[in-house]
Amino acid sequence: MTPQLSATQIRYLFAIRELEKQGVVRQGHIAQKLGVSDPSAHKMLLQLERLELIAKKRYSSVFVTEKGREAMERYYSSYTRIRKFFADDLRLSDCNCDKVTFAILGGLDEQGADEFCERIVS
């Protein structure tokens, strides 16, 4: 079982997921996508690697492990439902939808996220 992840850790996993669709993912790509420095990206990638959610290959390419994919899938379902609520019902900007959604996911365990989703859908 994956421990509760922070909003930033979830955000990084989602960024890696998006970048994987374009090919090989490198630390610099992640930093650029998230608008952070290379040292900041490096530090977070080390955290994700210690949690066994990602692994690095030669030449600094990064890939999501099976454990990381399971965590992403768990969070992605709640992410899409919560983000849709903020975008459609509250009409927040894309940037604000993402910020608020990641903050909520980072502050709730899986059960809490499910309960939150149930409340906003009903």
Which domains, from first to last, does the chain contain? 7-68 (1.10.10.10), 71-121 (no CATH)
Q: Are 63 and 57 in contact (CB under 8 A)?
A: yes
Q: Are strands 61-64 and 54-56 parallel, antiparallel or unpaired?
A: antiparallel
Q: Are 62 and 99 in contact (CB under 8 A)?
A: no
Q: What is the pLDDT of residue 50?
A: 96
Per-residue model confidence as pLDDT tens for the chain (122 residues):
667 899 999 999 999 999 999 999 999 999 999 999 999 999 999 999 999 999 988 777 999 999 999 999 989 999 999 999 999 999 999 999 999 999 999 999 889 999 999 999 87
d(CA 45, CA 11): 12
d(CA 47, CA 49): 5
Q: Whole-prediction pTM value?
A: 0.90
Half-sphere exposure of 64 (CA within 13 A, CB side): 22
d(CA 48, CA 64): 9
Burial letters 34-68, b for 16+ CB under 10 A, else e: bebeeeebeebbeebeebebbeeeeeeebebeeeb
The label of the residue with tokens 């849709």 reads: 84
